């Protein structure tokens, strides 16, 4: 039986409690489905992007997922099954009318709330009730306990109220100089904006990521440095640390299931090898970052970094053209199917992270030796990206 996280227990459970003493009754609470469990069962016959989209919308709830699978999809908007809408509406009836309306206002913002935003959306007086009923949690900032419920509440808003609430949020974000969040809420409210002027004021990779999302492509200052390498035997990747929410490791596989409540990066650090190596990333990625770079403007969907002791980073962004921002900063397109190789200098530790505000990334990560000259001729050859342009150019000149 699926129980509500917010309201009262179902009638059947109340009846059982009235007939059986507590010492003879045992309740087992099951967690939501993991991505691996859902992919192996309910979502096994779907393409990765569609399966990931449904999983993120459901939050891993088997009942919600069943309802989503039962309704037709037009490929653009996520449907809102009537049974799911009715269930969330019924649960929200346990709240006072004022708290329920505050919760609907909060649903327009997909992320943690500043105190100013709580005030602007007139939710501050109802925080105690919303926390007590399980709708909101506090983790440094207030946020929805379950983003799937926030989505349902948001999709249930009438267009006029949705537009009004987005404008309230945009005004507050402007006062707080949260420019990317302001742009998101103005866009969702249907307001016009001078995107050309706005994006050109943004720094670094954020500008290129937003331009790609808007279809305003801009060539990077330099092209990527690539080369060819002979692949040798496999090297073990030794984990030094893993951190952050929504991240798991299973053998060679690393997986991120990111939701808007996760405001910091999550990922893994591998120890350095004392010889040059080749790193292979292969798998799938589906990201729903607002504006492509998130309402924070810093939500890099996937970032690969090395430190040897020189630092270099590679940022993957949807829709972007491959290129380099600097000698040690490369931007690559984040495609649904990833299959990319990198040459890692000797002594460089590897850090792989995601800061996506909403997304699902499932990768197999492997490391190989560079084949020594006597074996290079017969070894498989792969196209690799280089972390440092200057080193490649110097090698070519020599």
How many Å apart are CA 305 and CA 44, to the nearest integer?
Answer: 33
Supply the pTM of this predicted model. 0.88
Closest CA to 3 of 38, 32, 40: 32
Count Cα neighbours of 243 within 13 Å in the Cβ-side half-sphere. Answer: 11
**Per-residue buried b or exposed e for 108-140, using 16+ beta carbons within 10 Å of the residue's own CB:** bbbbbbbeebbebbebbebbebbeebbbbeeee
Q: Please name the residue that has the structure tokens 């200057």.
A: 390
Q: Please name the residue that has the structure tokens 């069962």.
A: 41
Q: Report helix, strand or coil for 40.
A: helix
Q: Are the CB atoms for 40 and 34 separated by under 8 Å?
A: no
What does the pLDDT profile of the chain (398 residues) look like in tens digits? 555 555 555 666 667 767 777 777 776 777 888 999 999 999 999 999 999 999 999 888 888 899 999 887 766 677 788 888 888 888 888 899 999 999 999 999 999 999 999 999 999 999 999 999 999 999 889 999 989 899 999 999 999 999 999 999 999 999 999 999 999 999 999 998 788 889 888 889 999 999 999 998 888 889 998 999 999 999 999 999 999 999 999 999 999 999 988 889 999 999 999 999 999 999 999 999 999 999 999 999 999 999 877 899 999 999 999 999 998 999 999 999 999 999 999 999 999 999 999 999 999 999 999 999 888 889 999 999 999 866 544 444 44
């Amino acid at each position: 039986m699926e129980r509500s996280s917010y309201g009262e227990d179902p009638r059947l459970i109340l009846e059982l409690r009235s007939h059986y003493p507590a010492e003879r009754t045992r309740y087992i609470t099951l967690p939501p489905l993991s991505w691996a469990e859902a992919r192996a069962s309910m979502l096994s016959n779907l393409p990765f992007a569609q399966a990931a989209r449904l999983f993120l919308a459901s939050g891993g709830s088997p009942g919600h997922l069943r309802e989503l699978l039962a309704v037709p999809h037009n490929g653009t908007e996520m449907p809102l099954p009537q049974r799911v809408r009715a269930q969330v509406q019924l649960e929200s009836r346990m709240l006072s009318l004022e708290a329920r309306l505050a919760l609907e206002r909060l649903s327009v913002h997909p992320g943690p709330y500043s105190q100013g935003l709580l005030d602007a959306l007139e939710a501050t007086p109802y925080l105690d009730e919303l926390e007590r009923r399980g709708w909101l949690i506090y983790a440094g900032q207030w946020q929805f306990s379950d983003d799937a419920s926030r989505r349902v509440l948001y999709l249930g808003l009438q267009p006029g109220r949705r537009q009004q609430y987005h404008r309230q949020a945009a005004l507050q974000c402007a006062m707080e100089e949260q420019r990317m969040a302001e742009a998101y809420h103005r866009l969702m409210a249907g307001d016009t904006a001078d995107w050309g002027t706005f994006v050109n004021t943004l720094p670094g990779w954020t500008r290129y990521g937003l331009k790609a999302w808007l279809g305003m492509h801009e060539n990077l200052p330099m092209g990527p440095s690539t080369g060819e390498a002979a692949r040798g035997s496999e090297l073990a990747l030794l984990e030094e640390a893993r951190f952050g929410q929504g991240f798991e490791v299973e053998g060679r596989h690393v997986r991120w299931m990111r939701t808007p409540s996760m405001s910091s990066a999550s990922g893994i650090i591998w120890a350095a090898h004392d010889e040059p190596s080749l790193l292979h990333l292969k798998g799938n990625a589906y990201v729903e970052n607002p504006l492509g770079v998130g309402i924070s403007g810093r939500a890099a969907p996937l970032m690969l970094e090395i430190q040897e002791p020189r630092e270099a980073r590679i940022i993957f962004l949807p829709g972007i053209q491959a290129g380099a921002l600097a000698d040690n900063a490369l931007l690559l397109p984040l495609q649904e199917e990833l299959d990319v190789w990198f040459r890692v200098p000797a002594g460089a530790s590897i850090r792989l992270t995601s800061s996506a505000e909403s997304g699902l990334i499932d990768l197999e990560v492997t490391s190989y030796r560079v084949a020594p000259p006597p074996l290079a001729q017969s070894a498989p050859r792969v196209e690799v990206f280089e972390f440092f342009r200057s080193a490649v150019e110097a090698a070519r000149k020599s």
